[in-house]
Amino acid sequence: MARVLGSFLLLVVVSSVAMATDPSPLQDFCVADPSGQVLVNGFACKNPSLVQADDFYFGGLRMRGNTSNPVGSKVSPVFVDQLPGLNTLGIAMARVDYEPWGLNPPHFHPRATELFTVLEGTLEVGFVTSNPENRFITKVLQKGDVFVFPMRLVHFQRNIGNTKALAVSTLSSQNPGIVTIANAVFGSKPAISTDILAKAFQTGNDVIENLQLKF
Ligand code: GLV
Ligand code: MN
């Protein structure tokens, strides 16, 4: 009996570790109350009797994102910060616009897997597996195609057409987060010492200083 109980407890512990993602809700909804004074994992709930339809609504994706930037792409997030009704629900989305040959540069989501759907255009996408293999998995996607970027892996998309492209992503967290590699490494505040990056990237301080100026 003790052994059965022990195995059961082990299973509970292992499965709770293996299912490390946004926790399941314990109520119908918990609309985020960003002004709440209580600090919890997520946002505190707005009083349910004060909740309105607009708490579950976001009308901000009708327009193209502004892609006038050096990479020629724009991610317009619909995370819990934009849509308070997402709080505790473990899901979010984003619209991604691309100029011809625009790039959504290498980045990862610290808390989410991403399911990516092309609505317009032709996109080259890819992700890299963890050490030591660092295998690069890449594919060209057409309108209507779907691709998954597994949780926390570095990935990118590039428009390889001469027309604008459009995609939507669904992400498995209300607050997926985005870490853009170049910004995190060369644009941190305060900056990581140039000599640390020069050694890490096996290059000269001048190359690193140049990159730090850009980010
Ligand atoms: C957004 O993060 C995306 O990769 O499309
Ligand atoms: Mn992404």
pLDDT digits 0-9 by tens, 23-68: 889 999 999 999 988 888 999 999 999 999 999 999 999 999 999 9
- The Å distance, Cα 49 to ligand 1 centre, comes to 35
Residue 94 Cβ < 6 Å to ligand 1: yes
Which of the ligands is closest to the CA of residue 97?
1
**What would the 3-class secondary structure string for 14-42 be?**
HHHHHCCCCCCCCCCCCCECCCCCCCECE
Strands 136-141 and 146-149: unpaired
Is the pLDDT at 125 greater than 70? The verdict is yes
DSSP-derived 3-state class of residue 141: strand
Q: Is residue 86 part of a domain?
A: yes
**With a 6 A CB cut-off, is 32 part of the ligand 1 pocket?**
no
Structure tokens at 132: 């030591």
Domain contains 142: yes
Q: What per-residue confidence (pLDDT) applies to 9?
A: 43
Residue 156 maps to a domain: yes
pLDDT of residue 176: 98
What's the CATH code of the domain at 40? 2.60.120.10
Atom 3 in ligand 1: which residue has the minimum CA distance?
A: 169
Mean pLDDT score, 105-115: 98
Alpha carbon of 214 to those of 41, 133, 183, 188: distances in Å?
A: 35, 30, 9, 12
Report the DSSP pairing between strands 136-141 and 123-128.
antiparallel
Q: For residue 47, is it within any domain?
A: yes
Residue 188 lies in a domain: no
Can you give the pLDDT at residue 20?
58
- For the chain, the average pLDDT equals 92
**How many domains is the chain built from?**
1
Asked if residue 46 belongs to a domain, the reply is yes
Domain carrying residue 156: 20-177
